[in-house]
């Protein structure tokens, strides 16, 4: 199983950066996209460099309704693609997505496919869902910005097994204790305190960047 960061504020050499986030989960038999960044052309450029074709993606999970996680979506919508969105998305946005693909509204935690779950929409002011992926060593959580807070996200995700890793944006994150014991920590996008996270968890820390490929065992 691979995770490929397709869109991020920072980028590996040869990749394009931009404010936002997108991460591809590559399973043996399927590719699941989490979020779609902001600039669709930059997203597609990075996909090409990582050997990913838009037509290979049949499931898209959107964390929340902020522009920097949705911008590339129009270039990926087509019949046959399932798009999982928090139920709290606006009516007009859901109608637009449904007109071009298969809309799946998400409220509570649910199974997306074997070994992959959504936490369901969490949070008060900003509703957000996160993706939970099972690996041989435990669960890895992919987050957009983690607005609801990691304790809420982890509480729901832990229903599916032991959490061993987290990848994605950590907006205003300072609750360092919640990361103790994780073997993989990949702060990306809106994370303000990457330096402190790296200092506290040097063995688990990997900086998230567009173009980064993570192989999960």
The H helix count followed by the E strand count for the chain is: 4, 13
Residue 102 and residue 39: Cα distance in Å, rounded?
Answer: 22
Residue 217 and residue 44: Cα distance in Å, rounded?
Answer: 27
Protein fold of 2-215 = Metallo-beta-lactamase; Chain A (3.60.15)
Q: Read off the pLDDT of residues 194-208 as tens digits, 9 standing for 90 and up.
A: 999 999 999 999 999
Residue 105: partners with Cβ closer than 8 Å, 6 or more residues away:
85, 86, 87, 89, 94
Asked whether the predicted pLDDT for residue 117 surpasses 90, the reply is: yes
Q: Read off the pLDDT of residues 166-175 as tens digits, 9 standing for 90 and up.
A: 999 999 899 9
Residue 48 and residue 204: Cα distance in Å, rounded?
Answer: 28
pTM of the model: 0.97
Q: Read off the pLDDT of residues 14-68 as tens digits, 9 standing for 90 and up.
A: 999 999 999 999 999 999 999 999 999 999 999 999 999 999 999 999 999 999 9
Give the pLDDT score at 74: 96
Asked whether the predicted pLDDT for residue 217 surpasses 90, the reply is: no
Query: Residue 13's pLDDT band (boundaries 50, 70, 90)?
Result: very high
Question: What's the Cα-to-Cα distance from 45 to each of 10, 53, 62, 75, 97, rounded to whole Å?
Answer: 15, 10, 20, 12, 23
User: Domain boundaries in the chain?
Assistant: 2-215
Asked whether the predicted pLDDT for residue 122 surpasses 90, the reply is: yes
Residue 2 and residue 214: Cα distance in Å, rounded?
Answer: 6
Q: Read off the pLDDT of residues 2-11 as tens digits, 9 standing for 90 and up.
A: 999 999 999 9
């Amino acid at each position: 199983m691979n995770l490929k960061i397709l869109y991020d504020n920072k980028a590996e050499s040869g990749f394009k950066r931009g404010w936002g986030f997108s991460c591809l989960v590559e399973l043996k038999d399927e590719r699941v996209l989490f979020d779609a960044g902001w600039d669709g052309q930059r997203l597609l450029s990075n996909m090409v460099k990582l050997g990913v074709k838009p037509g290979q993606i049949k499931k898209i999970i959107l964390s929340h309704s902020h522009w920097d996680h949705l911008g590339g979506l129009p270039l990926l919508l087509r019949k046959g693609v399932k798009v999982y969105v928090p139920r709290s998305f606006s009516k007009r946005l859901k109608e637009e997505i449904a007109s071009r693909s298969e809309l799946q509204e998400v409220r509570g935690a649910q199974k997306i496919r074997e070994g992959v779950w959504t936490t369901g929409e969490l949070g008060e002011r900003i509703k957000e869902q996160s993706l939970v992926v099972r690996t041989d060593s435990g669960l890895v959580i992919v987050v957009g910005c983690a607005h609801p807070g990691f304790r809420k996200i982890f509480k729901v995700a832990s229903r599916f097994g032991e959490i061993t890793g987290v990848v994605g944006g950590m907006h205003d994150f300072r609750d360092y204790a919640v990361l103790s014991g994780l073997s993989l920590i990949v702060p990306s996008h809106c994370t303000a305190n990457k330096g402190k996270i790296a200092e506290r968890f040097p063995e688990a820390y990997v900086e998230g960047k567009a173009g980064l490929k993570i192989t999960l065992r």
